Structure 1
Amino acid sequence: MGETQEHTDELSAFAGLLDEAPAASGSGRAGRIVLIVFLVSVLVVLGAGGGYVWWASAAPLAPPTVTTQPPAVAAGQPAAIGMPASGAMRVSVTGGEDYLGAEADGARVASGGDDPRPIASIAKLVTALVVLDRHPLDGANDPGPTLAFTEADTDLYDQFYVRGVTIARMPDGSSMSLHDALATMLLPSASNYAVAVARWGFGSEGAYVDAARAWLAANGLESTRIVDATGIDERNTSTPRDLVALGKIAEANPALARIVGMSSISLPGGPGTVTNTNGLLGTEGIRGLKTGNLGEGTFNLLFSSLLDVGIGAPLTITGVRLGGETHDSTDQDVVTVLQSIRAGFHEVPVGTVGDELGEITTAWGARAEIVLGRSAALMTWSDTPVVTALDVQTPERYADGASVGTITWTAGPNSTTADVKISGELEEPTLWWRLTHPGELG
């Protein structure tokens, strides 16, 4: 009795489905008769197993088909490092090797060759390093020994005055700490103090020159030539490569690095307040080192910068500009190269929320999009390629907003990841489709 009732219910369900069924080609009545015969035949065959309608309505469906095609991401604009058209420049970068490559520490950019050129008062930085090698200061705040200047030292003021060279007051019988004497030599570039300090350190300027040449050789600066303590002789020459190396040695000396980073210092009773000739201190992270010029077309700047480019720790940049036309143009050349290095680091947009990354389709014709769950950008250097990796997984349910995986973009040392989601509902198949597609059912 129960089986008869089940079969009757199934036939009623089939009869109701006739209204959903599309008309058969040819006569509508004939088509319906053929369909009824087919359905009844299926019912008779499967009836003993619990009923075809029940089986078809409950049978599992094949999983949807997932098709993905993440869009390619264009690299950022190539970095355009602004180098001067004349003279020479060389820049070394430390701290961005993951972005720039290991070669950046040698010289990320260079122009104008590596021939020796007059270095002018950059030679005073050599004087300071050689004297400190013989008479080191114990840290950045150590004043060091006291220098008592002799009459021969104070006579240097007049000697350099008549030559039109930069000098600073040195009263008869005056004395000061080594730290302050070095500051007076380096900040305003006082040549009388350079010779006085060299004499104090080595007994004579000639003995200092011998010591300087030995020190240069010991530090691998074999393309640098020193003939006096001041740099006013144009035979004091060096190459951009050697000068960058010299700048790094100076940066590593705490006392000297502190001195060349001061904008001014007040020394009562002696030279008074002296001001640093490096007017770029604090601009683009510049923290030193030394200016030098012998007149038009020979303006030089050896510089050090902690440049914030937006990648966490700032870059440590050591560079030199030789042969600038004027003091101002030399400064601008240095600012331009630092700004262009920073501009070479940029965020590249890699995706916008809602971007279509693929689609999900079913055998019964339902469709939904696979889209990006959030907007994302990636910090890169220059035109570093961006690599995309899409990982789509089978979700527990195919519902609007459900996460179906992640997408990851990588460029150089940086990666960023975003969720991938379903956008749209996957409609369930109709009972009619289930009944007429038994081969698609599990």
Structure 2
Amino acid sequence: MDRDRIPRPPGTGVAQPPRPGRSWPPLRTAAATAVVLVAVIGLCVGLTSGEDGSLSWPWPREGQTSVLVEGTGDTGATGDTGDTGDTGDTGDTGDVATDGAQRPVPIASVTKVMTAYVILRDRPLRAGEAGPDITVDQPAADESGSGSESSVRVRAGQRLSERHVLELMLIPSGNNIARLLARWDAGSQEAFVAKMNRAAHDLGMRHTTYSGASGIESTTTSTSADQLKLARRVMRNEVFRAIVAKPSTTVPGVPGPIRNTNTLLGTAGVIGLKTGSSTPAGGALMWAATAPDGAGHDRLILGVVLHQRAGSSPQEGLRAALDSSRTLIEAVRRWVSTTTSGTR
């Protein structure tokens, strides 16, 4: 199953801050400088200390996590409005940290971020633009009433704008909508998945395999570091940013209001991004937040948390991913608040 709904409220080198008891890995000179800075600032903001005296972020106790702090003033407020071409990372400044073994694991509905990336690359939209109409096909309508996966109720022949269909995929996490978009763009889900995997390769996501557009398949696997590369790229798209920041939406002809599965929105500077949950994947969250630094600039911070409470219910896994992400986001924001453009 892939259910994201839970009750309310109930690059250069990669620095790897350790869990308690873990030693620092060898680092290139530039990366080592960044790590020293993190350690010094960590003393000031109260990051936890391991038994061996080494500092550590408040990482989740399980799974794997990656975090990126973009350069001063880079909040994603400017950049691509439609073009998210697969040209790979452009080398923007930013401090990256990871924790946990970077081995491919199921990512559930976080998959839909790549689906949206490919759609907006192939069929770009500009700010405020609705885009072409998409006709709901019979498979998407038939899958509306599925009790075994997250879906959105639509009817065959219904016409919805591209932007509204993207909202229905990203906000309530409609699996049937993701597959509808795949067929609309490429003619079949299989052809679309080939595009997804090519895009992942072009973005340098070497440990990622997509086998569907929705994420329900446990054979869709990735790492937090790979998904962070995707998060960094897709957040440059103005339309994507606007959609994932919405706590709810209404779509003509669809029962609503439709609420976002990401319950962290609006707290701790969170402005997105995408939840995921299934029994094989556990809980997953790709998140984006802004944080003011000591120089009065806003920075964009991005993170990916995967494989939380894998094997439990989707609801329990997602709750764990949300809770652990909130703790981590708050710690990163405290760190950013002590920095200035002169201390990078």
- Using the size of structure 1 for normalisation, the TM-score is 0.57
Going from structure 1 to structure 2, the CA distance change for 1:121 and 1:412 (only over 3 Å counts) comes to closer
Work out whether 1:85 is the aligned partner of 2:61.
Answer: yes
Unaligned runs of 5+ in 1: 1-74, 347-379, 382-410, 415-442
Q: 1:340 — aligned with what?
A: 331
User: d(CA) in 2 for partners of 1:340 and 1:133?
Assistant: 34
Higher-Rg member (1/2): 1
CA contact (8 A) 2:108 2:281 kept: no
> What is residue 146 of structure 1 aligned with on the other side?
133
Indicate whether 1:331 and 2:322 are aligned: yes
The alpha-carbon deviation at position 78 of structure 1 amounts to: 4.6
After TM superposition, the structure 1 = structure 2 runs for residues 177-192 of structure 1, keeping only pairs within 5 Å, are 177-192=161-176
Corresponding residue to 1:226 among 199, 206, 210: 210
1:105 aligns with 2:94: yes
* Amino acid in the other structure paired with 1:187: I
Distance 1:172 1:241 in 2: 39
**Cα deviation per residue 1:224-249 (whole Å; 9 max; x = unaligned)?**
11001110111111111111111011
Where in structure 2 are the equivalents of 1:3-402 lying within 5 Å? 77-79=43-45, 80=47, 81-96=57-72, 105-107=94-96, 109-137=97-125, 139-158=126-145, 161-162=146-147, 164-295=148-279, 298-325=282-309, 326-344=317-335, 380=338
Cα displacement (A) at 1:295: 2.8
The 1-side partners of 2:255 and 2:116 are apart by 18
Contact 2:130/2:161 (8 A) holds in 1: yes
Report the Cα distance in structure 1 between the residues aligned to 2:268 and 2:71, rounded to whole angstroms.
16
- Residue 86 of structure 1 aligns to a residue whose secondary structure is coil
Query: CA offsets, 1:7-43, max 9 Å, x none?
Result: xxxxxxxxxxxxxxxxxxxxxxxxxxxxxxxxxxxxx
1:172, distance to aligned residue in structure 2 (A): 2.7
| Residue type of the alignment partner of 1:328 | R
Change (3 A) 1:154 1:92: same
Alignment partner of 1:413 is 2:320: no
TM-aligned CA deviation for residue 192 of structure 1: 0.7
* Percent of residue pairs identical: 30
SS of aligned partner of 1:200: helix
Change (3 A) 1:150 1:343: closer
In 1: Cα distance, 2:295 partner to 2:279 partner: 39
Whether the aligned pair in 1 keeps the contact of 2:250 and 2:256 (CA below 8 Å) is: yes
**1:329: how far off?**
2.5
Number of residue pairs aligned between Structure 1 and Structure 2:
269
Per the alignment, residue 59 of structure 1 pairs with none
1:307: how far off? 1.3
Question: How far did residue 181 of structure 1 move?
Answer: 0.4
> Which one has the bigger strand percentage?
1
Match of 1:46 in 2: none
Equivalent residue of 1:344, what SS? helix
C-alpha separation between the residues in 1 aligned to 2:333 and 2:202? Answer: 35
* CA separation of 1:234 and 1:249: change in aligned 2, threshold 3 A: same
CA distance in structure 2 between the aligned counterparts of 1:210 and 1:299, rounded to whole angstroms: 26
Cα 1:219–1:290, aligned 2, differ >3 Å: closer, same or farther?
A: same
Deviation at 1:309, TM superposition (A): 4.1
Task: Assess if the C-alpha contact under 8 Å between 1:91 and 1:110 holds in 2.
Answer: yes
- CA separation of 1:202 and 1:340: change in aligned 2, threshold 3 A: same
Taking the aligned partners of 2:44 and 2:238, their CA distance within structure 1 comes to: 37
Relative to structure 1, the CA distance from residue 182 to residue 83 in structure 2 (aligned partners, 3 Å threshold; closer, same or farther) is same
Given that 1:278 and 1:288 are in contact with CA atoms closer than 8 Å, whether structure 2 keeps it comes out as: yes
- Work out the CA distance in 1 between the residues paired with 2:285 and 2:112: 13
- Runs of 4+ deviating beyond 4 Å: none
1:326-383 CA-partner distances (Å, limit 9, x unpaired) = 323322211211222233367xxxxxxxxxxxxxxxxxxxxxxxxxxxxxxxxx55xx
Shift of residue 106 of structure 1? Answer: 4.8
The 3-state SS of whatever aligns with 2:94 is helix
The alpha-carbon distance between structure 1 residues 343 and 150, as it changes in their structure 2 partners (threshold 3 A), is closer
Describe the SS at the equivalent of 2:183: helix
* CA spacing shift, 1:96–1:206, aligned 2, 3 Å: same
Q: For CA contacts below 8 A with separation 6 or more, give which structure has more relative contact order.
A: 2
* C-alpha separation in 1, matches of 2:341 and 2:232: 27
Q: Distance in 1 between matches of 2:139 and 2:319?
A: 36
- Give 3-state SS (helix, strand or coil) of 2:195's partner: helix
Contact 1:116 1:224 (C-alpha < 8 Å) held by counterparts: yes
How far is the alpha carbon of 1:146 from its aligned partner?
A: 0.3
Structure 2: give runs of 5+ residues left out of the alignment.
1-39, 48-56, 74-90, 310-316
Match of 2:313 in 1: none
Query: Structure 1 237/296 Cα, relative in aligned 2: closer, same or farther at 3 Å?
Result: closer
Deviations 1:389-427, CA, capped at 9 Å, x for gaps? xxxxxxxxxxxxxxxxxxxxxx9827xxxxxxxxxxxxx
- State the secondary structure of the residue aligned to 2:275: strand
Paired with 2:175 and 2:58, the residues of 1 have a C-alpha distance of 33
